[in-house]
Amino acid sequence: MLKRILVTDAQFRAPLAVIRSLGEKNIEISAISEKKSAMGLYSKYCSKKLISPNPIIEPKSFLKFLLKTVKTNNYDCIIPYHTYTVFLLCKYKDIFSDYTIIPPPDLKVFYKAYDKTDLLKIAIKNGISCPQTYFGDNIEDIVSNIQQYPIIIKASRIHGVEIAICRKELELRDKYTEMTSRFGNCIVQEYIPNGGEYGVYTLFNSNSEPMALTVQKRIRTLHDYGGISTLRETVRDEKLVKIAFNLLKSIGWSGVAMVEFRVDARDGIPKLMELNPRLWGSLQLSILSGVDFPYLYYKLIMNEEVKPKLSFKEGVICRWLEGDIKGFANCNNKLKFIIDFFNPNIKYDGLSLKDPKPFIHSILNMMGETFIHSIFSPVRNSDEKGYLNENPIVNRDELII
């Protein structure tokens, strides 16, 4: 029987890695994106290209489109990428269950992982080192407990947006008001001097047992304060793996996840930053290091036997080219950046000689965006926000087709 899957959010790097991994194994791939220019749609392994409504701006239209798609096509499962798409599928899993399989976790577990406030409380309860976090219902409660600056403000339920660094009380008050008005609930933490940033990348089965693993160290990031990696390397760190596994087991995790740490330069202790309950942007590096996460993930979703793959090749370096170029302006040592840039051992996200069109297309898109931004002022894209609303977004009766 022909195996068929539906991959969402094809404009990102990780879905392209999924499309290629599964397509090479003769699994028929259909890919969805709200952008006609999505690089995943240009892969030779993408047999069907679908343009959908934006899931964040139009969640009801997106869900109706997705439901119609799976009802009229025989897909084994859906593999989502963007956190908001994962959220929608977790929340409305029941309406899809008669037509296809939605990956784990359940919504309750998803919230434990995604909400930084809930996650930190769980981590602290389990003895995991975290930045000093000031929990409170209002800014007055928070300010009264702070004894040292600088202080960080992060959105609690939105990943991938900027943070605020505050060096005095007045700045904290102003930034807190601004951040909460833009992103909803926020958390306030001590600033952790950067002694190294690491991610533990995992796949857990339904019994919260690890099935796959890689560990990556960030060499460069898109922003000077950290964030999305543009150049990273696989490393061995059993201590971080133990902490990450402990955290994931404590919330009953199932599925793919990335646990992020920053080593405190003051004491050398790794501190928990966040947990991303989805596939990760640097998925290609995990695959290059010998762990085929997309295929293992697919087998887990389909309830097939998965043999644990907890070893990987160390010292593999991979670059997100567009991000690394954009991050050049924030690089402190530009000469070293230029020298490192031409390291012949570095691999690239998205680059494949067997499937070159997506990489070429992404470069052309980047050049076009740079030209447009040089003429017009950059406008914030609303689909970067990704609010997670606990209240019903869509009436289920409206989705019945």
DSSP letters, 111-135, are: HHHH-HHHHHHHHHHTT-----EE-
The reply to whether 337 and 377 lie within a common domain is: no
Q: Is residue 113 in some structural domain?
A: no
Residue type present at position 186: C
Interior CA angle at 157 toward 151 and 161, to 5°? 65
Indicate the number of domains in the chain. Answer: 3
Instruction: Tell me the C-alpha distance between 56 and 160, whole Å.
Output: 14
The reply to whether 53 and 164 lie within a common domain is: no
Q: Is residue 49 in some structural domain?
A: yes
Q: Is residue 224 in some structural domain?
A: yes
Q: Is residue 152 in some structural domain?
A: yes
DSSP letters, 48-61, are: EEEE---TTT-HHH
The reply to whether 44 and 157 lie within a common domain is: no
Q: Is residue 400 in some structural domain?
A: no
From 308, 313, 267, 306, select the one nearest 289 (Cα to Cα).
313
The reply to whether 204 and 339 lie within a common domain is: yes
In this prediction the pTM is: 0.92
Cβ-in-10-Å burial (0-12, 13-18, 19+) of 177 comes to: exposed
Domain CATH number, residue 341: 3.30.470.20
Q: Is residue 160 in some structural domain?
A: yes
The reply to whether 198 and 346 lie within a common domain is: yes
The reply to whether 302 and 205 lie within a common domain is: yes
Instruction: Tell me the C-alpha distance between 342 and 154, whole Å.
Output: 35
pLDDT in tens, 343-357: 899 999 999 999 999
The reply to whether 210 and 166 lie within a common domain is: no
Q: Is 290 helix (H, G, I), strand (E, B) or coil?
A: coil
The reply to whether 88 and 170 lie within a common domain is: no
The reply to whether 199 and 185 lie within a common domain is: no
Sequence-distant (≥ 6) Cβ neighbours of residue 62 within 8 angstroms: 34, 52, 53, 54, 55, 88
Domain CATH number, residue 1: 3.40.50.20
Q: Is residue 395 in some structural domain?
A: no
Range of the domain at 148: 132-190
- Full pLDDT tens readout for the chain, 401 residues: 789 999 999 999 999 999 999 999 999 999 999 999 999 999 999 999 999 999 989 999 999 999 999 999 999 999 999 999 999 999 999 999 999 999 999 999 999 999 999 999 999 999 999 999 998 878 998 999 998 999 999 999 887 788 999 999 999 999 999 999 998 899 999 999 999 999 999 999 999 999 999 999 999 888 777 778 999 999 999 999 999 999 999 999 999 999 999 999 999 999 999 999 999 999 999 999 999 999 999 999 999 999 999 999 999 999 999 998 888 877 778 888 888 888 899 999 999 999 999 999 888 887 766 544 444 443 334 334 445 555 556 776 766 55
Q: Is residue 237 in some structural domain?
A: yes
The reply to whether 317 and 199 lie within a common domain is: yes
Domain CATH number, residue 140: 3.30.1490
The reply to whether 206 and 186 lie within a common domain is: no
Upstream peptide bond of 193 is cis (omega within 30 degrees of 0): no
The reply to whether 78 and 170 lie within a common domain is: no
